[in-house]
Amino acid sequence: MASRSKPNIIVTGTPGVGKTTHCEILAENTGLKHFSINEVVKDRGCHDGYDEEFKSWIVDEDKLLDAIEDEVKQGGYIIDWHACDLFPKSWIDLVVVLRVDSTQLYDRLKARNYPEAKLQENIDSEIMEVLLQEARDSYDEDIVVELTSNSTEEMDSNVARIESWLAQWKKNNTENAQ
């Protein structure tokens, strides 16, 4: 049982599945804070340099966890990142793994001008369900939810489902606190 007054949610999945869009809408609708780990890594120096081949920061996970621990432990965050296994179980109340059809994902990543090696690695990761398995291996089964994000309609449905979960979490934790 969480000791926070607000839950922490991870929205994870392969790049291009709609994590940031989901998080932005959820933050606007719920008052939870959108925590873009990519921005934290860059803005707070939680990296060991930049990988030119993959056009991304090399994350120092220890620095990252140290940089966000005090904030996240308070609750009320929607964590937006392509990985979830580094966050302690005690910090997290719901893990949402977004999935997309690999053809759509390819088109989305191509439109972002991903280098071919990075594009292929992400497509392979999605096909092999790497991030879904990581979530299942790292957290209790009852807090991991797999949702598809192929269309605007699915995204709207996902947001409504997460908002419903949040309302139930608040109700359960208010009742249990009394």
Residues 77 and 101 in one domain: no
Who's near 5: CB < 8 A, 6+ residues apart?
A: 75, 76, 173
Note the residue count of the chain.
178
| Total domains present in the chain | 2
Which CATH number covers residue 129?
3.40.50.300
pTM: 0.93
Domain range holding 31? 18-83
pLDDT of residue 176: 61
Task: Point out which residues pair with 33 in neighbouring strands.
Answer: 77
Residue 148 assigned to a binding site: no
How far is it, in rounded angstroms, from Cα 11 to Cα 117? 24
Residues 77 and 105 in one domain: no
Average pLDDT over residues 41-53: 94
Residue 19 assigned to a binding site: yes
Domain limit, last residue, from 83, 104, 130? 83
Whether residue 91 is contained in a domain is answered as no
Residue 161 assigned to a binding site: no
Closest CA to 100 of 82, 116, 114: 82
Q: What percent of the chain has pLDDT over 70?
A: 97
Domain limit, last residue, from 51, 83, 115? 83
Q: Mind listing the pLDDT tens digit for each residue in 112-170?
A: 999 899 999 999 999 999 999 999 999 999 999 999 999 999 999 999 999 999 999 99
How far is it, in rounded angstroms, from Cα 149 to Cα 116? 23
Confidence tier at 1 by pLDDT (50, 70, 90) = very low
Residue 21 assigned to a binding site: yes
Task: State yes or no: pLDDT of 178 exceeds 70.
Answer: no
